[in-house]
Structures are given as C-alpha cells and as structure tokens.
Amino acid sequence: MSRTLDHLLDQNVIWAVGKRRDDPEFFRRMAEQQRPNYLWIGCSDSRVTANDVLGLDPGEVFVHRNIANIVHTSDLNILSVLEFAVDYLQVEHIIVCGHYGCGGVARSLTADRGAMLDHWLQPLTMYYRKHRALFDAIADEQERLDRMCELNIEMQVRRIAATPIVENAWSRGQTLNLHGWIYAIRDGLLRDLGPHLSSVEERDALPSIDERVRNPTEPISAMRRQAIDAFAAFGPEAMEGLACPLPTEMHGHACTEEC
Ligand SMILES: [Zn+2]
C-alpha cells in the first residue's frame, strides 16, 4: 500500500469516469446545488453507509454519523447539521438509523468506564442501569443487545423531536417526518421500528420510553408491511402460513416474524 494512498485516488478516478459514462450530466448537476430530501443520523460503523444501504446517489441524503447514533442535545455538531438540514435544505424526512450488533451500544451494557467513549455513551448506560433488572432478565446476550439497539433508536428519535429546531419547524407548518429504522448487517436489510412523528402532538402522545423495555416495538420490513396491508382485507387468518416476502437469497437465517 502506498504512503500517499494512490490506490484510493486511482479508485476515485475509476468511479468518476464510470459515473460520467453512465450519466454525462451527473457532476454538472451535483455542482449546481444539493437538494437532499432526507437527513440520515446513523452510526459511524464502517459497514452502515447511508447512500449504499438506501441505494441513493450523492446529493440525495444529508448525513450525520457518530458512534451509536446518539443525539446529544449539547452536541454542536449534530445541532448544526440538524439546523442546516431542516431550516435551509428543508428536508422532509429525518431518519435515525441504528444497527444490530452495534459496538457502541454493546459497550453501554458493560461496566467499562475508562474511555472518552463512555461519556458519549452515558445516556445509554444510564438507561441500562435504570432498567437493569429487565435487561438482565433477557438471558440471551445477543437478544439483550438487540433490544438495547432497538430502544436506542427510539430514544434518539424522541430527542430529535424535542429539539427547538424541530419544534419550530412543526410550529410554522413545515412538513417534517421523523423515522426510526434499524439495519441488519447480516442481510443488508433495513427495518422500520418507529416511532413516526410528524407533529408535537404525536410526540407528546407517545408512551414513556421507560415503558418500551417491557413493550418493545416490532421491527418490520417494508415488504412485510406491504404484504400485511395487502392481506388485511381478507382478515388475520389469511396471514397464517403466508410465505416470507423476502427472496430466500436475501437472508441466511430461518424466516421469522422479523422478516
Ligand atoms: Zn454502531
């Protein structure tokens, strides 16, 4: 590997040439202005890149990432990104997307307290400690981590919804929808966790986040939701035995209600 990382610069040339070959106007359009309709708040994990998992081109999603996709309301970085996205870019959707197997979330479930990272993870650590008996009652370690990964997403959606930036946008009638999603590295698929928030009223109608430890929301893929909607007209019995809507090559695990 060269000291000047020429292999990466070479790959960039190949990428740019390929882009221009497929779409001669691509870079001209990019240079004019960015008009993303989505703000993505995700984890810094190198395997979860917004444009790739969404299948979007540059210019289509505004991105903020940090370890464990945490929204600290004193973090000037995320607040600046949020303000720019909402007030100037006028994105209509904010997606908080975490992922299963998140190393940051996993650390918040341990007694490790020796790094700067542990200050960053403190909201998760405190939540875990508050509900420790319930979390520790989940015998399977993987399942416990999955639950915390899911709860973390809802926690951060609520924090975004409580910022003056979002409240002000809603109060002036701006369309702004908040979403909570989770990504599974094992199959490359996103699942919707909620909550979906489009107003202060919807936010305030949510049950306490403390309730969620006992009553977690069920992650659902868009394909499964569409299948459920399609079969809803025929009654719940029509759903029984309904084949998983995912192509089998998309996942190596057994089909579950999670698919
Ligand atoms: Zn992560």
Q: How far apart are CA 111 and CA 107, in angstroms?
A: 8
CA of 105 to the centre of ligand 1 (A): 7
- C-alpha of residue 43 to centroid of ligand 1, in Å: 5
Nearest to 147 by CA among 193, 179, 198: 193
245 upstream amide cis, omega within 30 of 0: no
Q: Report DSSP state, residue 241.
A: T
DSSP state of 211: G
Please tell me which residue in 64, 97, 102, 149 is annotated as part of the active site: 102
Highest mean pLDDT among 24-28, 110-114, 231-235, 254-258: 24-28
Strands (E), 100-176: none
Catalytic hit among 20, 28, 35, 47: 47
Q: Which of 87-101, 165-179, 205-219 has the lowest mean pLDDT?
A: 205-219
Which position among 64, 99, 203, 251 bears the catalytic label? 99
97 as an active site residue: the answer is no
- How many angstroms is it from 91 CA to the middle of ligand 1? 24
* Res 231 pLDDT > 80: no
Distance 44 CA to ligand 1 centre (A): 6
Determine the pLDDT at residue 225: 80
Supply the DSSP string of 48-114, one letter for each residue.
--HHHHHT--TTSEEEEEEGGG---TT-HHHHHHHHIIIIIS--SEEEEEEETT-HHHHHHTSS---
What pLDDT does 114 receive? 87
CA–centroid distance, 104 to ligand 1, in Å, is: 6
120-174 pLDDT tens trace = 999 999 999 999 999 999 999 999 999 999 999 999 999 999 999 999 999 999 9
138, 144 contact by CB (below 8 A)? yes
Identity of residue 123: P
> In order of start, what are the domains of the chain with their CATH numbers?
1-32 (no CATH), 35-218 (3.40.1050.10), 220-259 (no CATH)
Distance, in Å, from the CA atom of 22 to the CA atom of 4, rounded to the nearest integer, reads: 29
Per the annotation, the verdict on 102 as an active-site residue is: yes
- Catalytic annotation, pick one of 43, 97, 244, 259: 43
Name the pTM for this structure: 0.87
Q: Report how far ligand 1's centroid is from the alpha carbon of 48 (Å).
A: 8
Kindly list the distances between the CA atom of residue 45 and the CA atoms of 42, 49, 162, in Å, as whole numbers in the listed order: 8, 8, 26
Torsion on CA atoms 206, 155, 34, 53, rounded to nearest 10? -110
Average pLDDT over residues 52-69: 96
Instruction: Calculate how far, in angstroms, residue 16's C-alpha sits from the geometric centre of ligand 1.
Output: 29
Task: Please confirm, yes or no, whether 7 is among the known catalytic residues.
Answer: no
Enter the tokens of residue 67: 């370890």
175 vs 242, which has greater pLDDT?
A: 175
How many angstroms separate the alpha carbon of residue 145 from the centre of ligand 1? 11
Q: In what order do the strands lie in the sheet with 61-66?
A: 61-66, 38-43, 93-99, 177-184, 189-192
Neighbours of ion ligand 1 (CB under 5 A): 43, 45, 102
Q: Could you say which of 45, 97, 224, 244 is catalytic?
A: 45
